[in-house]
Structure formats: structure tokens, C-alpha cells
A and B are shown apart, each in its own frame.
Chain A
Amino acid sequence: MDEKQAIARLKRGDPGGLETLVQLYQLRALRTACLIVGDRAQAEDIVQSAFIRAGEKIDQFDSRRPFEPWFLRSVVHDAIKAADRQKRFTSLDAHEEGEVLDLLDPAPLPEELVEAKETWQAVWRALGQLPARQRAAIVLRYYLEMPESEMAAALHGPTGTVKWWLHAARQRLEKLLRPERAPEESAGAPGAGEAQKSGGQR
């Protein structure tokens, strides 16, 4: 059964249609939610609920459009709300800080480092330090590879705002992943805001 048949069945009230949609889209949805909330169990709960809600609201879905973007928007929305509640999913403790790498230098990283688990873990920890909307912007752009216009729809914001979130997220990631700078270089950053509230990089 393909997506259109599944949706038609679901619109007739047949949950078998939902099973097909789950099989087709659960993996990307689950991975997206997990990257945003940082917790597999919570991500599963979010995606399960999103599928059930999609089934209940399938009458509102325009069958001429693809299902996945519509569904992923709902998953991303719920994941951001959940991540907002938990603020951040990991903390950089003292001995983890020493492991940060200069990962977002625009110059390509040596291939062996890209494939190294230490690199993945450093990015994972840095992601956990971002505010939820910025983290979602990174996930949408670099995992789902969404263009900014689609990101705007998924993040419920104007394109300009979403560009801003992505830009801010990249800047923040860069700071989190950069080797520690000399104290006089990092101490002068003005302001408090979300950077300090969510823990900052120090």
C-alpha cells in the first residue's frame, strides 16, 4: 500500500492506513524528535502521539500534498515544546569541556575526525546546550536538509526569523565547539539573555 492509498483508508476510518504511514515515516520522525529533545523515550512518545493525532485529524489533510512535511511539522512543534520544558538535554560538566573541538571552522575537517565518535559526541553535547528553537533549526537544516522556506513553515515563523535562528544557532554551536579562548577574549561578551540562562559555554 502506498501513501495515497494509506491516507484514503485512514480517511475512511481504517487504522490499517495509519500502520502504513507509521512504517513509512516513523524513522525520520523519531530521529528528528530525538535530535531535538535528546531523549529516545521522550521522542518515541512525541512521535506516537503525533501519529495518533494525525490519524484523528486526517480529514483536515489535503491528500494532494505529501504527508511527510505535514506530519513532520507536527513532530517538530511538539518536540520544541517538550525541549522548551526541559531547557536542555545535557550539561557540559568540567571534564567534558576539555574535549571540545574546532568543528565549525569553515575549512573541511580531516575525514577521520568527521567519522570519529568523539566528534559526534562533541556535536551532540553542543546541540544540547542550544535553546530549543535554535536546536530545531539545526536539525531541520542539517539533518532533514530543509530549505529555509520549509523550515519557516515547520518552525511557525517568518523566513527572515528562521534565517536568524539558524544563523544564531550556528554562531552558538561554533562557540560551544571552539577550543577555549584566552580569558580576555571570551570575557567581554555583553549581555545576559538566553545564552547565560541556558548555561552558555562556560
Chain B
Amino acid sequence: MNEKQLMRVMVHLAEERVPADADLWPAIRARLETSKAQTPKGDLSMNAKTNHRRGLRLAATIALALLAGVGLLLATPQGRVWAQGVLQFFTRAESDTLPVQSWQLTPIPTAETTPTPDPASILDAGLTVAAVEQQAGFDVLEPTWLPTVLSFAGASLEPEHPIARIFYRLEDTNGLVLREQPFTRTEDCQLCGEVGASAAVETVKIGDATGEYAEGVWSLTDSGPVWQNDPYLKTLRWQSGDVALELQFMGPPDAVTKEDLIAVAESLK
């Protein structure tokens, strides 16, 4: 079966499961009436805007109070030391939401556009580690131990920064990415990205080095990225010499644990 045929089968399935005469409006209207009966204004819940706005004002007040508190804290020398000392490899955002990012506004490419290979995608990672190392011009470390559920899928190089990536696939779904980037100034470290304000970042030992571990992901929404503390995505970051390293596992939380990530990190040669 080719893709077009699969599309036709999906349409058949959809039409079979939900015939065209489906009408949700009576049920939705009934639910709105129920909520109308439960609201003091007796208005349909579309006009629950007032409550929503009141909630927003309260949230904004709390957020401003928190920001003012953090601002005051950071204004003191102790506060600045605290802020710098808490996280080394992760940068904590001021909140769990970020403004809409410029790349989110980029127009969707048309079908005629020839897609450029994405070094961040396992599907475009067609190089060997040796080939990446040769092109990168720095020693690319490789794990000498991996959880048995993972197998090598490919490697890629993003030459501008430069960042080497080695991908390990989990059976059928998701997997592990090892990213390595030489850097000399903190502001050049592409791997020292932000986590949400509520992220639990844990300091861990990796051999003699100290690293940081966090679980969570920035989810894209129309109003910008929103941080979610989601164990489906685990990230471990540390530094070896002038190289920033990151292990990121995406997949079922029990398939690869924090301890596994540390063991992989300790095995790098």
C-alpha cells in the first residue's frame, strides 16, 4: 500500500466511524445551559469572560509579585551569587511560558520547497561517528556502554556552532541523542538552553565531574512555548574540558532512567 492508498483508507475509516450526520451542537448547548445554571450571572459560559479576566488579573498580580520578589532578591549580592550558583548548564527562564518565538511565525514551506537536511533529526543523521569527527575537527566522544534497548542510528554535524550529534534509537520509538559542542565563552554554549521556572534541576555526579539533570520539555502553543515537567523527556548536561555535553532521552520514562543516562555519560571515551 502506498501513502495515497493509506490516506484513502484513513478517510474510509473516519467516515465509517463517524458518519456525516454527526451533530454535536445539541449536546454542547446542553452543557452550556448547565454551566449557565451554575454561574451567578446566569449567562451562557461564553460570557464567563468576566471570571476569566478576574482570574487573569489575579494570576498577573501573583506573577508580578513573584517577579518583584525575584528582582529584589537578585538586587542583593547574595541573590546574584545564588542565581549564578544554582544552575550551571541549564538556564532557568523567568517563568514557564515564553513569548511567541520568531521561528514560530516563519511561513509554512510549500510542497515545492526542497527540504534541507535537519542535523537535529534522526532521519537525516546519515553519517558515521568517524565521519562527523573528521568534519568537526574535535574529538567526538562515544559511549562505551548503552542500555540494551538502544541501538546506534546515525550521526550528524551542525558545522556553524559546531555541534556533533549521535543518535541511538529505542525499539520503534524515540531514543537518545548525545550532543557535543566545544565552546570557550558561556554565551556561545548552544547546549546550555533554558528550562522553565518550575523545572526541577538536580545536580548529579558524573565520575569526577558535576552535571545537571532535568525532566521536561517546552511545548509549542500559539502564544509561545510553555514548559511542561514531563518525564517523557530527560536531559543530562555537563562539561568535559572545553566541551559541553548533553544526553537527551525521549521515550517511555522507565525505558531509560536517570541512572542509565549517568552511566552512559561516565562511559564516554
Contact = CB atoms under 8 A, between A and B. Distances in A.
B5 A108 contact: yes
Contact of B122 (A43, A147, A164): A164
Interface range on chain A (Cβ under 8 Å from partner) = 35 or more
A106 B5 CA distance: 10
B52 A56 contact: yes
B28 A22 contact: yes
B81 interface: no
B2 A160 contact: no
Contact of B10 (A40, A109, A139, A194): A139
B140 interface: no
Contacts, number: 200
A27 B15 CA distance: 9
Contact of B171 (A70, A119, A189): A189
Contacts of B124: 160
Contacts of B52: 56-57, 59
Interface in A10-49: 10, 13-15, 17-19, 22-23, 26-27, 30-32, 34-35, 40, 43-44, 47-48
B11 A191 contact: no
B8 interface: yes
B45 A160 contact: no
Nearest to B11: A143
A123 interface: yes
B221 interface: yes
Contacts of A73: 222
Interface in B144-173: 148-151, 170-173
B3 A160 contact: no
Nearest to B115: A148
B43 interface: yes
A40 B74 CA distance: 53
Given A106-B2, A157-B220, A160-B120, A27 B148 contact: no
B14 A147 contact: no
Interface string A133-155: 01000110011010101101100
B251 to A, nearest CB: 7
A128 to B, nearest CB: 11
Interface string B238-258: 000000000000111001000
A187 interface: no
Contacts of B2: 106-109
A147 B108 contact: yes
Contact of A192 (B118, B171, B175): B171
Interface of A: 10, 13-15, 17-19, 22-23, 26-27, 30-32, 34-35, 40, 43-44, 47-48, 51-52, 55-62, 70, 73, 103-109, 114-115, 119-120, 123-124, 127, 131, 134, 138-139, 142-143, 145, 147, 149-150, 152-153, 156-161, 163-165, 167-168, 171-172, 175, 189-197
Given A30-B24, A109-B2, 10 more contacts: A15-B32, A18-B28, A26-B25, A31-B18, A35-B14, A142-B3, A158-B120, A160-B118, A168-B172, A191-B150
